Amino acid sequence: MPYDVTAFGEEHALPAPHDRFLDRELSWLAFNQRVLETAADAEIPLLERVSFLSIFASNLDEFFMVRVAGLKRRISTGLAVPSITGAQPRAVMRSISKHARMLVRRHAELLRDVLRPQLEEEGIYLVGIDALTRAERRRVDEFFFTDVFPVLTPLAVDPAHPFPYVSGLSLNLGILLRHPRTGVEHFARVKVPPVLPRFFNVTEPGGADDPRPIGPDSPGRFVAIEHIIAAHLGSLFEGMEVVSSSCFRVTRNEDLEVEEDDAENLLKALEKELLRRRFGPAVRLEVTEDMDPRARELLVRELGMDESEIYELPEPLDLRGLSALSAIPREDLHFPRAVPVMNRDLAAEESSDQPDAFKAMREREILLHHPYESFSTSVQAFIEQAAADPDVLAIKQTLYRTSGDSPIVDALIEAAEAGKQVLAVVEIKARFDEENNITWARKLERAGVHVVYGIVGLKTHAKLCLVVRHERGRLARYAHVGTGNYHPKTARLYEDLGLLTADPVLTQDVTKLFNQLSGYAPRTEYSRLLVAPNHVREGLLSHIGEATRRAQRGERARIRIKVNSIVDEKLIDALYLASRAGVQVQLFVRGICAIRPGIAGLSENIEVRSILGRYLEHSRAFVFEHGEDLAHAEALIGSSDLMHRNLDRRVEALVRLERPEHIAKVREMFDLAFSDGTAHFWLEPGGQWARRTHDAEGAPLRDYQDTLVRAHGRRGGLPA
């Protein structure tokens, strides 16, 4: 039934009905369902499908550790409030449980019934102990006693041994033992050490890291590590009879709570909280279908679990471990290799081995598109060149997530040791990277880098680098503003945009923002940047409002937004108002989307698409077009998603693009994504996602990311 437009307020407010929003948690589960559907796609290379199964498992773990744990905590403390859909917290929890159970069952069945047989056709076998030949069993025995047995710690449960602590996401064997003389039964737990390979290749010469190509002529037969341990329990519990053994896994609340205002030293406070995280309450118990009822009952009692929190699944548990199989070096079972090219504006002169980043940036602003364009020859090279250049006086850098062996961190240390002023704004509260970030934050401090942790109460999520250089008797500034983390490894897998600039207006903005992050400057005004928490929502609302007014005057207007997630009610309502005024709205959303498209009288001009592929769509881009043939356009890129946390509780930065060719490049991304000839998922009014991969005649539609790989290769970029 169409919405009655008279039920809504005027210019800036849309009161209830609540059902104009989709539930955030169920929308996230719908995103992971899209990951699962991608794993089921028979046209995707086999080992990439296995990888998507692993990604699904990892995603779901984080969902339970953070979202479900947080909701459960709020319910138990009486602080939970209805969702934006009006649903009561306990009803949301029941819906989560229902949908999650359906998904994990499909996940397990997809491996068992579809992918496993296809892997076997390619000579890759997941086998049990009973299927091993005598020679393979000898290799397993040797591996167990040499590499596994010494690191195992069997833990008994009896009056002298209390029920052991079970760490979150660890894989465990729950074992029932019987004393042969007394007949008394005991429970024991053996943790599968994470230092061991998840699967052991029993094929000669053996080892999970065997570099030989694996195929029909050189088969690979893999045994799950938990099966190897289970087959040797007699060696762990000598003299006892093993009645049963089965796997289980616990998910705990692992979200962090750090009150910065009360912490004299944020680093120390976070270290204490990380220690507490290990002992967070259990929120999910996964058990195998064959678990002995007595062992299951003991686990439920000791862990304080409710039946609704127990997930009974076929073996193997913890399918994150499939990433080990997906890495098997069979090129024919992976996506065709895509080599990043060097951005043509950075291309080195023939006489030079490496581009002069400063020279290129003085000539023009440079828009980067990773991983199609190389991170190492652009952003990384810019920072490394700045660290080595004797004319560079200062480097300022935000770091949200990076690797411990990052060349970015090494360059900052090199610069500090060379006497340059180096500032690193480190976000040590980046979820699940906290321990790594603490480690290299201390490493930076020891090298003489000025390390700060941003603004109290806010996470620093903006992606910024500023270089100050002495040139011809004056100071010149260069900057990078991006959508992705300064992480060389994920830069090869995450799709992101970035801008290299020497524009005095923008570098002045970046300078002001760093001063705000390291000092006190709450009233800072910017020219080309929109900075959260004060200006991103307001700036985007202003752009949406302008498009709405143009449409009301009879002009053609279009809004195009690419984000990871959209949840913010004010922005959603503004887009509804724009749609009602006749603005065409295209939303390119990877994950959560709380907007309902295609509803008469409310959102019939809103279209939402999602694309999953070899790369994780991570960039954020905003384009506002108007006029005849939509000839006029303004575009922004940056770090902010359209969620409360980004707009209200984080330091985020969006930068306005100036060069027409850069705006055109971002518009081309949307043209391709929303073309009828491009494969995609689309969001239906009821919140369900549908997938379109073939046209009406059954011909396959083009792949968005493969098209961009080819396009960057044709544009004259050099292999990096």
Instruction: With a cut of 90, say whether residue 4 has pLDDT above it.
Output: no
- Regarding whether 698 and 571 lie in a shared domain, the answer is yes
CATH of the domain at 211: 3.30.1840.10
Is 90 exceeded by the pLDDT of residue 176? yes
Q: Is residue 427 scored above 60 in pLDDT?
A: yes
Helix (H, G, I), strand (E, B) or coil at 322: helix
Of 646, 649, 627, the C-alpha closest to 638 is 646
Span 101-110, average pLDDT: 96
Establish whether the linkage from the previous residue to 314 is cis, with ω within 30° of 0: no
167-206 burial: b if 16+ Cβ within 10 Å, else e: ebbbbbbbbbbeeeeeeebbbbbbbbeeebbbbbbbbeee
In the predicted model, what is the mean pLDDT of the chain?
Answer: 87
Model pLDDT for residues 534-567, shown as the tens digit of each residue: 899 999 999 999 999 999 999 999 999 999 999 9
Residue 85 pLDDT level (bands cut at 50, 70, 90): confident
Beta-carbon contacts of residue 535 (< 8 Å; ≥ 6 apart): 526
User: What is the average pLDDT across 576-584?
Assistant: 96
| Pair 380, 417 in one domain | yes
634 class by beta-carbon count within 10 Å (0-12 exposed, 13-18 middle, 19+ buried): middle
CA distances from 105 to 36, 65, 78, 434 (A): 11, 19, 32, 32
Give residue-wise pLDDT tens across range 117-133: 999 999 999 999 999 99
- Residue 219 in tokens: 């088969």
3-class SS shares of the chain: helix, strand, coil, % to 5: 40, 25, 35
Question: Among the listed ranges 25-39, 219-233, 403-417, which one has the minimum average pLDDT value?
Answer: 403-417
Helices (H), 423-558: 434-446, 504-518, 536-552
Coil, strand or helix: which one is 332? Answer: helix
Residues 354 and 501 in one domain: yes
- Name residue, tokens 């010469």: 205
Q: How far apart are CA 449 and CA 511, in angstroms?
A: 18
pLDDT of residue 11: 46
Q: Identify the CA nearest to 616 among candidates 453, 447, 483, 445.
A: 483
Predicted local confidence at residue 488, as pLDDT: 86
Peptide bond between residue 205 and the one before it cis (omega within 30 degrees of 0): yes
Report the distance separating Cα 707 and Cα 2, nearest Å.
Answer: 38
To the nearest 10°, report the CA torsion of 175, 178, 184, 186: -20
Residue 104, in any domain of the structure: no
In a domain? residue 648 = yes
Within 10 angstroms of residue 566's Cβ, the number of other Cβ atoms is 21
DSSP 3-state assignment of 530?
strand
Mean pLDDT value of segment 63-90: 84
Q: How many domains does the chain have?
A: 3
Statement: residue 252 has pLDDT above 50: yes
- For 121, residues 6+ apart whose C-beta sits below 8 A from its C-beta are none
Please, are residues 309 and 283 in contact by the beta-carbon 8 Å criterion? yes
- If pLDDT is split at 50, 70 and 90, which confidence band does 351 have? very low
Residues 6+ apart with CB under 8 A from 430: 400, 401, 437, 459
3-state secondary structure of 665: helix
Which DSSP state fits 5?
G
Catalytic residue (choose from 461, 487, 543, 680): 461
Q: What's the pLDDT score for residue 607?
A: 98
pLDDT at 316: 93
- CA pair distance 226, 233, nearest whole angstrom: 11
232 is catalytic: no
Residues 401, 472 share a domain: yes
End residue of a domain, out of 298, 333, 368: 333
Strands 392-399 and 421-426: parallel
Q: What percent of the chain has pLDDT over 70?
A: 87
CATH number for 406: 3.30.870.10
Same domain, 368 and 500: yes
Distance, in Å, from the CA atom of 341 to the CA atom of 720, rounded to the nearest integer, reads 5
β-pair partners for 126: 222
Contacts of 698 (CB under 8 A, 6+ apart): none
- Radius of gyration of the CA atoms of the chain, in A: 27
Domain end call among 333, 362, 397: 333
SS3 state at 700: strand
Q: How many CB atoms lie within 10 A of CB 320?
A: 19
**Confidence category of residue 25, pLDDT binned at 50, 70, 90:** very high
Give the pLDDT of residue 423.
93
Q: Please indicate, yes or no, whether residues 391 and 357 belong to a single structural domain of this protein.
A: yes
- Residue 254 corresponds to which amino acid? E
pLDDT in the model for residue 144: 95
User: Do 372 and 515 belong together in one domain?
Assistant: yes
Name the amino acid, one letter, at 49. R
Domain enclosing residue 503, as ranges: 341-523
Contacts of 439 (CB under 8 A, 6+ apart): 404
Q: Is residue 33 part of a domain?
A: no
Residue 686 CB coordination number (10 Å) = 9
DSSP 618-645: --EEEEEEESGGG-EEEEEEES--BSHH
Nearest to 280 by CA among 570, 76, 446: 76
Share of the chain above pLDDT 90, in %: 67
pLDDT band (50, 70, 90) for residue 105:
very high
The pLDDT value given to residue 70: 85
Q: Are residues 383 and 452 in the same domain?
A: yes
Where a domain ends, among 468, 489, 523?
523
Question: Rounded CA gap, 437 and 428, in Å?
Answer: 5
pLDDT computed for residue 166 by the predictor: 87
Tokens of 62: 């984080």
Q: What is the DSSP string of 458-492?
A: -EE--EEEEEEEEETTEEEEEEEEESS-S-TTGGG
Q: Is the pLDDT of residue 216 over 50?
A: no
Q: What is the mean pLDDT of residues 657-683?
A: 97
The pLDDT value given to residue 260: 44
**421-426/450-452 β-pairing:** parallel
| Dihedral over alpha carbons 34, 39, 44, 46 (to 10 degrees) | 170
Among the residues of 15-123, which ranges form H helices? Answer: 24-39, 46-62, 69-77, 89-109, 116-121
CA–CA separation, 640 and 202 (whole Å): 47
Tens digit of each residue's pLDDT (9 = 90 or more) over 491-544:
999 999 999 999 999 999 999 999 988 876 667 899 999 999 989 999 999 999
Q: How far is CA 58 from the centre of its chain?
A: 10
In a domain, 279, yes or no: no
Any domain includes 5: no
Give yes or no: residues 498 and 542 share one domain: no
Query: Please, what's the b/e burial string for 389-399 (b: 16 or more CB within 10 A of its CB; e: otherwise)?
Result: beebbbbbbbb
Question: What's the N-to-C CA distance of the chain in angstroms?
Answer: 55
pLDDT band at 402 (very low <50, low <70, confident <90, very high): low
Can you tell me which residue has the tokens 């019987």? 178
Note whether 354 and 396 are same-domain residues: yes
Of 99-113, 399-413, 453-467, 590-604, the range with the lowest mean pLDDT is 399-413
41 part of a folded domain: no
For residue 213, name the pLDDT band (cuts at 50, 70, 90).
very low
Which amino acid is it at 18? H
Asked if the structure places residue 434 within a domain, the reply is yes
Q: Is residue 478 domain-shared with residue 535, that is, in the same domain? A: no
Q: Provide mean pLDDT across the span 300-323.
A: 92
Q: What is the mean pLDDT of residues 199-218?
A: 59
Same domain, 476 and 498: yes
Task: Please indicate, yes or no, if residue 471 is contained in any of the structural domains.
Answer: yes
